[in-house]
Amino acid sequence: MKALNIAVLGATGAVGQEMLKILAEYDIPVNELRPLASAKSVGKCVSFKGKDVPIQEANDDAFEGLDFVLGAVEGDMSKRFAPAIKKSGAIYIDNSSAFRLEPDVPLVVPEINGADAFNNNGMIANPNCCTIITLMAIAGINKISEIDKMIVCTYQAVSGAGTNGINELNDQMAALARGEKPVVKTFATQIAMNVIPFIDAPYGNDYTKEEMKMQNEGRRIMHNPDLKVNCTCVRVPVMRSHSMAVTLHTKEKVSVEAAKAAVAAYPGVRLIEDYEGRCYPTPLDTTDQDLVWVGRIRDDLTDDHGLTLWCCGDQIRKGAASNAVQILKLLAEKM
């Protein structure tokens, strides 16, 4: 792999910081690293491989001479800079939701549909975090028999709302410990000692945009335009790593034993049958690593072609930053 010129757009945020960490961890050969952020961050530095790298202002002239841009900004900012990135000739791997459903922008999880990444027009979309983790958990089963519908309930950590979400849970827990009333800023209501069964904006059908991503993005990644998903997304007072309870229906019956074998053999996935005396993973088990852990695979008692499972994965890593770097690595190895 040749040495690359790489920018991280949104280098000061939680996902941007994780991208920098993973670029170093994966030993991606970097000729020039260009951390980009707003003007207020200029003059500060980010750490990369033990060195301080100055932050540069994100503007239309900031992308010249780059091979790849890793996007870690919100959708509006991604749309703002996408034309300039494309004009520069760099490949843009975008973590926002801005382009995920655009037909000419591949939506990629490398272990599942990595070949799609090569059919790009200078832009590749990184899927939603829960979509990535859930599809990784069920992809092995889908290879045995196509999955045509799923019922999913997510248990999403506050890290899904970025550093503000993490800070809010910390602050609220500290306030409660002091006997004070917690301050609510980031979430719709108190998250400490609570759960919130509503994430993102309304979609228009009594579901939220976050809930519909599982179906809309899953169809593209799995190459199954008829996939049906009923999803309920819940914010829980967990710092990091999302969890999902998944019930799926396969066209042909898949036994529990066959499902376990398929999950265990799938790259990027770890089957949990006996881990520290339990048959399931927890968010803490999966924090700060890239594997999706899957446990409690069992028959669905309501459907002869149904299976139910539990999975956990680090939302900031495999659910965002690591998946983007893995896409970059996949492409760079062919350059």
Of the candidates 129, 130, 231, 311, the residue annotated as catalytic is: 129
> What does R_g of the chain's alpha carbons equal in angstroms?
20
Catalytic hit among 130, 242, 249, 312: 242
Establish how many alpha carbons lie within 13 A of residue 81's alpha carbon, considering only the half-sphere containing its beta carbon. 31
**Residue 100: both structure tokens together:** 């995920």
Burial label for 162, CB within 10 Å (0-12, 13-18, 19+), is: middle
Q: Rounded to an integer, what distance in angstroms lies between the CA atom of residue 244 and that of residue 195?
A: 15
> By three-state DSSP, how is residue 58 classified?
coil
Look at the block and give the residue holding tokens 């800070």: 167
Q: In what order do the strands lie in the sheet with 123-125?
A: 56-57, 30-37, 4-9, 68-71, 91-94, 123-125
Q: Is 242 a catalytic residue?
A: yes
What does the CA dihedral 42, 71, 47, 171 come to, rounded to 10 degrees?
Answer: 90
Active site residue 129: yes
Catalytic residue ranges? 129, 242
